[in-house]
Amino acid sequence: MPIRDIAVGRPEEATQPDALRAALAEFISTLIFVFAGSGSGIAFNKLTDNGVTTPAGLISAAIAHAFALFVAVAVGANISGGHVNPAVTFGAFVGGNITLLRGILYWIAQLLGSTVAALLLKFVTGGCSNIQLICWSWSMARIGLRDRDDLWIGLHSLRHSR
């Protein structure tokens, strides 16, 4: 890949309507994915009364995440490319498909989307004590993380108490 394909972009690109629309699509897509995917894990945990993880439970969680990802990508595919994941956005930047400024807009939208989804999950579950939500916000704030738990690397994660 030639280096000339990588572009920084112009400052006015950050205020163009199509760039802002694409960033909004990334925000909504990531929010849908995190809320639906992690929410299904929370729901399964509540239905089984914090039971042992079974193969059926793992399969249902995988299917729920697959459907959530499908919907999230479908929502943003025609507007922003349906990246949903900052790593995909980075790959699009390195591949020369988007500029650095557009990539930064997407990253901000994706981080905000996952953070808002985690906060919404915490709100709709009533802040259940058996659910540990880890969310990465601008200051790497941890929501409900106990000292004995390890931090799973990612923008969002669901961790059940043992």
What does the pLDDT read at residue 2? 57
Q: What is the CATH number of the domain that holds 53?
A: 1.20.1080.10
Strand partners, 1: none
In a domain? residue 5: no
The whole domain housing 77 covers 11-158
In a domain? residue 35: yes
Strand partners, 159: 132
pLDDT, tens digit, 9 for 90 and up, residues 81-135: 889 989 999 988 888 888 999 999 999 999 999 999 989 988 888 875 444 444 3
In a domain? residue 116: yes
Token pair 């990531």 in the structure block, residue: 30
Q: State the alpha helices, DSSP H only, in the chain.
A: 17-47, 55-76, 86-94, 100-124
In a domain? residue 16: yes
Domains in the chain: how many in total? Answer: 1
In a domain? residue 47: yes
Nearest residue to 73 (alpha-carbon basis) of 99, 118, 37: 37
In a domain? residue 80: yes
Q: What mean pLDDT is predicted for residues 10-30?
A: 90
In a domain? residue 2: no
In a domain? residue 117: yes
